Amino acid sequence: METLEGWSAPDEEQGELRAHYLRHLRERADGMWRSCRPEHVTSSALVVDASGSRVLLTLHKTVGQWLQLGGHCEAGDTTLAGAALREATEESGLSGLSIDPSPVQLSRHQLLAGGCAGAYHLDVQFLVTATAGTDYVMSEESHDLAWFPMDALPDVDHSVQDLVTRTRHRLALTPRTLSS
């Protein structure tokens, strides 16, 4: 809850989502865990290359769409940023990733396939930067994993497009304080 309590939402819609997430976490002791229904908090990462011009997306096996890396919080995760960094590392095989601990945006979306079908993910989305020259390794959760220029994305849903747009804005306007 600390991450969300200390986060300044960039607009009214994001502020409403922030309030919804905080209410959910206050009302549900299990609100962070996959077993919580009808919704639970997840954490994801948009991985950008060292130049800040390309993003690493996964063609998710279950969902069948190009998405940022991420997933469910686990018992060993102590922060949402830590969960996003763990997921990005596991799903990309990249080493030396750095994360901006302030969320880029929130996204509430319903899962229509897989073990969480019917549940809503209350996703907290972070910016993660890869070091130059690091090769990715596709995980078993992906049909494909690829770098895309931010201005030439594959067919992505509006949430991923919004995440890329907000990330571009953050990279252009704010100095990044990243931690690994």
How does pLDDT run across 17-30, given as a tens digit for each residue?
999 999 999 999 99
pLDDT at 44 over 60: yes
Per the DSSP assignment, residues forming a β-bridge with 179 are 99
Instruction: Give the range among 6-10, 26-30, 143-147 with minimum mean pLDDT.
Output: 143-147
Binning pLDDT at 50, 70 and 90, where does residue 39 land? very high
Instruction: Give the range among 55-64, 85-94, 106-115, 144-153 with minimum mean pLDDT.
Output: 106-115
Output 94 or 64, whichever has higher pLDDT.
94
For the four alpha carbons of 6, 123, 31 and 100, in that order, the dihedral sign comes to negative
What is the pTM (predicted TM-score) of this model? 0.91
DSSP string, 44-80: EEEEE-TTSSEEEEEEETTT-SEE-EEEE--TT--SH
Binning pLDDT at 50, 70 and 90, where does residue 132 land? confident
pLDDT at 116 over 90: no
Letter for the amino acid at 119? A
Q: What is the pLDDT of residues 98-107, one digit of tens each?
A: 999 999 999 9
Q: What is the pLDDT of residue 174?
A: 56
Per the DSSP assignment, residues forming a β-bridge with 148 are 55
Mean pLDDT of 77-91: 95
Across 140-159, b (16+ Cβ under 10 Å) vs e yields: ebbeebeeeebeeeeebeeb
pLDDT at 58 over 50: yes
pLDDT at 179 over 60: no
